[in-house]
A and B are shown apart, each in its own frame.
Chain A
Amino acid sequence: MNLEHLRAFFWLRWRLLVNQWQRGGRVNAVLMIVLLVGAIALAVPSFVLSLGLGVFGLDRAEPNHLLYIWDGIVVAFLFFWSLGLLTDLQRAETFALSKFLHLPVPLSGAFLINYLGTLLRISLVIFVPVTLGLALGLSIRHGLWSAVPLVAAFFLMITALTYQLQGWLASLMSNPRRRRAIVVTVTAVFVLIFQLPNLLRFIRPGGLQQRAERSNQMLAEMKALERQFEAKEIDAAEQVRRQNEVIERYQADSAEAKRQSEARWERYAKLVNVVLPVGWLPLGIMTTAQGRIVPPLLALAGMSLIGGGSLWCAYRTTIGIYQGRFTARPASSTTVAVAAADAGTPASSRSARLLEMRLPLVSEPAAAVALAGFRALLRAPESKMMLLTPLVLGVMFGSAVFRSPAEGPLALRALTGIGAIGLGLFGTLQTMANQFGFDRDGFRVYVLSAVPRRSILLGKNLANLPITLGIAVLTLVIVEIARPLRLDHLAAMVPQFVSMFLLFCLLMNLLSIFAPLPIAAGSLKPAQTKLTPALLQFLMFATLFPLTQVFTLLPLGIEALVHWQGIARGVPIYLLLSLVQCAAVLLAYRLAIALEGDWLQAREQKILEVVTSKVP
């Protein structure tokens, strides 16, 4: 490895980055460069600022406070870091070492370059100056000698672990099906981890409830005193004295509870900091501030060992790959053999039976499009990932329904049911808003086919129906268990669903036709973000989507209004009106989809260009 190699590799890395940006269009490239220059320009002042903060700002900070500050920094860093990691994972093509193995470069050098290459991340550019500045400031002013080495060891540990993880995942991903499964799993884990606090707060609002109980108790005692005073059991002076007592007791209780919860939090925080290696940086700084010597040394040694060890393991693996040890996997060849052995059995053609099904009222090509689309949706891991959002929302929604007052107005309950249907629409939002993006090369089949384009749209819409319906029904069942709807309202949910779904489809078809986005295989994310489609999508969701859906609330609103006026009680106005509305929407859908079909045909070559554009 010499300097020339080094320069060549860095140049390559830079070119890859710039080319990737340029494929997103000129505006995108300029934006990214501005961002990068901005980040670098920001690095200097942020270093100076945090240095200043370390020297002058934290005079009265106790060791505990230092722990919290550094915990906050670590959590924020990990968040941005994992976001960047996810992006890289979904792009899949980072800096594959295998592409350089045939070149006359020593392996250790290539390895080092490859590792250094992963450090070019925006999160590092932002966080390294901030943390180093703060650490330096702390050690200058407060004599925290361990701060700077701890920070360095921390970054070594994180980057080395990440590098090892990426290498491991990359070797697993050599099989395309497995690769997509991994991308999905990792994303799902990240989403769940970051949603966890939200979920916990929704499921166990313990602190809030205790506080409510305490203030209820105080109010009750005050009322009791009031009553005693009115019953002339005590005089005014006595009442005031006792009232003050009650208030003091309440304040003391609250303070005690607060102190207890703080102590509990502190214990949790310290425990987490001890257990998780990423917490050793804050822990080391706190213990140094407490004047101890051994714990920071331990933290330093621990993080360095993990970082160095993980780099060493990654290096061994690289050598292993180089010598061809991990490339041939016996497991995969056996699966192929098994697959070949059962081939030709009826089982394989049975899977094609689903695609042979007839659908009532729907033309033959539309049925084929719907069934193939549904089949692909069930198989694709990315669509399983898509279900995560409604799952999280569903848990929140369900807990909100259960905690709502038991005897609200009936119309409100029906509104909850409509909310459940809305959740169903939400569940397929990502595939529906970009129905052709997920077909990629497959979209050519539609362009080449003689099928009337409205049948393609109809089929595409129907492909998403089972999932939407499934989520809506499940959520409705939860609502029905918690707060049962009146029977006619429950019946009205059927026409309500049809109206909402069809209007949703019409809107989503428009988006799919006029703002298609390319999607990388195995991911949900648009491969490149362009301004116009993104803006269009935003406008659509901000204006048209609520407008059309609000229209479906009219029947319920009219019923609530009429009944509130005391007219026509007992007449199921909502059910009747929603049936009428459903018929009208069906008719409108039939007319509009023909029009949308014409638009699809006029734009199909442009859509094809977008959805088949190769992901950088």
Chain B
Amino acid sequence: MRRIQVSVNGVAYEHEVEPRLLLVHYLREGLNLTGTMVGCNTSNCGACTVLLDGESVKSCTLFAVQADGHEITTVQGLQTNGDWHPMQTAFHEQHALQCGYCTPGMILASVSYLKENPNPNEEDIREALEGNYCRCTGYENIVKAVQQAAGQTS
């Protein structure tokens, strides 16, 4: 067992964890933050995407111990004073989700990408999201949502 200190959605935690515990399982089982999901366990689908110090990572490819000393944001940490993040609003308004299972990961990957490139074109967005699978929407509306959040459409 190893002791880790992490800040998740602005709350500080300290826990003893098994070295092999995956970060996604730490979040889900340890902290009950079930907005982060598992879709593949092989780092392909992106359902487990969270922000680590503001950058998107796949939490099924990290061990909890690797998050020691870092700040993590899950989808539950995106709201400010109860207001949705513009990306959450955009996903809703553009009908960028159906079953919603990919959605938290997709939103976080998009939030992180817009920080990197605030003014992307459609192709950029598609390339940027290549590590996040959605089986329901066919991606067109997801791309539109990211464009909306980037201020490119209303």
Q: Answer yes or no: do A and B interact.
A: no
Taking beta carbons and an 8 Å cutoff, which residues of A are in contact with B?
Answer: none
